[in-house]
Each structure stands twice: as structure tokens, then as C-alpha cells.
Chains A and B, each alone.
Chain A
Amino acid sequence: GENVEQHPSTLSVQEGDSAVIKCTYSDSASNYFPWYKQELGKRPQLIIDIRSNVGEKKDQRIAVTLNKTAKHFSLHITETQPEDSAVYFCAAGGGSYIPTFGRGTSLIVHP
């Protein structure tokens, strides 16, 4: 089955800095890679996703990059704000998309 590794587990940045979270996956058949943001006690919210036919996708301050050869994908958040503080999860899935989640990254943005 799929195995997703996510790093770092905790990331602390100053407001305005950039934050990068990295994930690797094991199953070369995976072709869908979403990122979720989860605030304490709340549901995970889909913030951006990428499919395997695309190398990069951007949405305002958030971008995701995918390297299929190396089997890794990353989330980039620029100009971080305190409200970006949350736990971020990556996931990977194949055609039938039974999703496998990473262990999560706790992002702390200090004002």
C-alpha cells in the first residue's frame, strides 16, 4: 500500500516568512495529492491539490509542487500570517483514491 512521510512535524516561523512542508510517497500509481489545513478541534479543510500531470499549482499565497520522479511534493506558503497557524496534512492517492495521509505538520506563525 501507499506510505506517506511528512516533514517537519513542527514548523515555527515569524509572520511574513515563508513556510515549506514536504511529503514523500511510495506508490508510483498515486496521481492525486491534496493538502488539508486543520485548526484545533475542527475538520480538515482542503486548501490546494495537484494531480500528477501537473508540476506546480498556485493559489494566492499557497503553492504546491510535485516531482513524480522523486516521488515527493511540497506545500509552500508565502507571507505567512498568524491565521495560517494550524496542522497541515498531505495525502496521496491513486485512481480509486483511497487516501493515505501524512502525519501532519504543526505550523506556528509568530506575530
Chain B
Amino acid sequence: GAVVSQHPSRVICKSGTSVKIECRSLDFQATTMFWYRQFPKQSLMLMATSNEGSKATYEQGVEKDKFLINHASLTLSTLTVTSAHPEDSSFYICSARVASYEQYFGPGTRLTVT
């Protein structure tokens, strides 16, 4: 299947700082990528849909000024958590859509805000 990488895998930052997470499709071009947040023992919560060359579409309740998404190329989307707080600590996972339906996930980023 298609390979999606995510970097970093783990990050610890201090409250008030910003953190950037990168999501790359390694062997295919992805016009659409998705960003999810996952709390322990819970499902994947879709945060936003990232389309190459256009603004991201955010789900209801997700602050677009806090979670900045940039999809500058067909293989890279970034999520920046601005002014992070402890409640932003979570597992963030990106995915990329192949063709019309199939979706492949990155390995996730464990964010801890102290």
C-alpha cells in the first residue's frame, strides 16, 4: 500500500510554544490529506481536511487559528499547534487519500505539552 510518514513521532513542548507536525506521502501524490486527533482509548476525531493549494476545511469546534494547516505541495501537509496548552496533548494522526476512496495513515505524533 501507499506509504505516509509523519514527523516528529514524539514531541514535548512547553506551554505557550508552537509545534509543527509534518505529514508526507512518500510514493504517491496526495491532493487531499486529513488530520485527526485521538485521545486514549477513543476513536479518531477528524480535525480538518487539507487540500493542496487551497485552504483547509475545519470540522465544527476545531479552532483554525490554533491548528494551522498548510498543504503547500502534493506530498506535504503540515499541522502547527500554536500557543500549545496541556489540553492540546494528544495523539495526532494524518492520512492521505489515494484515488477516490482509499486512505492511508501516518504513524502519528504524540504531543505532550508541559
Among B42, B44, B46, B102, contact of A44 (Cβ-Cβ < 8 Å): B44
Among B41, B43, B103, B108, contact of A102 (Cβ-Cβ < 8 Å): B43
Highest count of chain B CB atoms <10 Å: which of A32, A43, A98: A43
Contact (A43, B107) CB under 8 Å given A93-B101, A97-B97: yes
Contact with B along A56-85 (1 / 0, CB 8 A): 000000000000000000000000000000
Query: Which chain A residues lie closer than 8 Å to B35 at the CB level?
Result: none
CA distance A104 to B104 in the complex (A): 17
Interface size for A (C-beta < 8 A) is 23
Query: Which chain B residues lie closer than 8 Å to A101 at the CB level?
Result: 43-44, 46
CA distance A49 to B43 in the complex (A): 18
B: interface residue count bin: 20 to 34
Contact A103 B43 (CB under 8 A): yes
CA distance A61 to B101 in the complex (A): 23
Contact A44 B97 (CB under 8 A): no
CA distance A95 to B100 in the complex (A): 8
Q: B46 to nearest A CB, angstroms?
A: 7
**Does A25 have its Cβ within 8 Å of any Cβ on chain B?**
no
CA distance A46 to B97 in the complex (A): 12
Query: Which chain B residues lie closer than 8 Å to A102 at the CB level?
Result: 43
Contact A46 B1 (CB under 8 A): yes
Chain B residue with Cβ nearest A100? B46
**Does B67 have its Cβ within 8 Å of any Cβ on chain A?**
no
Between-chain CB contacts (< 8 Å), 18 pairs: A34-B102, A34-B103, A41-B110, A42-B108, A43-B93, A43-B106, A43-B107, A46-B1, A46-B103, A49-B102, A89-B43, A93-B101, A97-B103, A98-B49, A99-B46, A101-B46, A104-B42, A106-B41
Contact A44 B100 (CB under 8 A): no
Among A32, A46, A51, A99, contact of B104 (Cβ-Cβ < 8 Å): A46
Q: A100 to nearest B CB, angstroms?
A: 8
CA distance A95 to B102 in the complex (A): 12
Chain B residue with Cβ nearest A44? B105
Contact with B along A14-39 (1 / 0, CB 8 A): 00000000000000000010101000
Contact A32 B105 (CB under 8 A): no
